[in-house]
Amino acid sequence: MNATQSTLFFKSVYIDFREITKARLAISVVFSSIAGFMLGITDFQSLNWIVLLKLSIGGYCMVGASNAFNQVIEKDLDALMDRTKNRPVPAGRMSGTVGLIVASLLTIIGIILLYSINPKTAMFGAISIFLYTSVYTPLKTMTSLSVFVGAFPGAIPFMLGWVAATGEFGIEAGTLFLIQFFWQFPHFWAIGWFLYDDYEKAGFFMLPTGKKDKGTALQIILYTVWLILASLLPVFGYTGRLFITPIAAVVVFLLGLWMLFYAIRLYKLRTPKAARTLMLVSVLYITLLQLVYITDKFLR
């Protein structure tokens, strides 16, 4: 193998690894964990960079493992959908066996790294993989309740950062979990809406009513309202060490209204474009909310 062939080979391996672990999604999840970690430490002086590095790499491994297991299990269904048919396993660039080896290695590395932080962090990471792979994935072809089940592992990363920083699971970590839990519904139902036809090819049930109708759109609005309420809980002083100032609460509330506006817009228009816009807004919302929480913590 000459230098050019070697370069192409390693580039191909890198691309396939990035796709089977869903790198962009995994990085966004790791960002949530880092945000939770920053909220959990007492101040910058107590920031342990080694622990943060372990959380970042371990978190990526756990998310990547979940995605890899998912793609191996769903390889035949992925081959039916336009957005997934070119993934490494359904496209035939990677065998199911190799995919399982990658997923297993990532699981082991991830759990070891998270356990080296503290046992609770590793436990929640392991629970996340189990729920995503063994419960959420098979339910996707059976019932729309799969989104409810999937919201549990999806809500763990924000909380995981706090547990990594403190070694404790209490009202603070529970509040962070609650925020990201409610966020999952408008986010994934928006995805399920604009990718409805593609999901239908594989027999995936993603929308609560099974249709792109007012019932689904109304539930998106209701869960967005619950999300806004949950995100404001820390301002009232009942969530332990997790607290935001009234100024931060106003910013968080305005962010919530911004997302609610696009949820209502989807209810009125009921178009794939409106759903895609809501999905993009939801991603920006959760990122900005986490940044507001962190900024407020270190500026007050």
Predicted confidence (pLDDT) per residue in 60-100, tens digit: 999 999 999 999 999 999 988 988 888 999 988 889 999 99
Nearest Cα to 26, choosing from 176, 164, 157, 194?
157
Class of domain 13-169: mainly alpha
pTM above 0.75, yes or no: yes
pLDDT digits (tens, 9 = 90+) for 245-282: 999 999 999 999 999 999 999 999 999 999 999 999 99
Pairwise CA distance, residues 216 & 207, whole Å: 7
| pLDDT (average), residues 234-249 | 95
**What's the confidence (pLDDT) of residue 144?**
85
Nearest Cα to 248, choosing from 179, 183, 295, 178?
295
Query: Could you tell me the pLDDT band of residue 216, with boundaries at 50, 70 and 90?
Result: very high
- The lowest-confidence range among 110-119, 198-207, 259-268, 273-282 is 198-207
State the virtual CA torsion across 195, 190, 77, 13 in degrees, nearest 10.
90
Distances, alpha carbon 286 to alpha carbons 39, 147, 175, 228, in Å: 15, 18, 14, 11
Distances, alpha carbon 164 to alpha carbons 16, 175, 230, 295, in Å: 30, 15, 22, 20
Answer whether residue 141 shows pLDDT above 70.
yes
Give the chain's mean pLDDT: 93
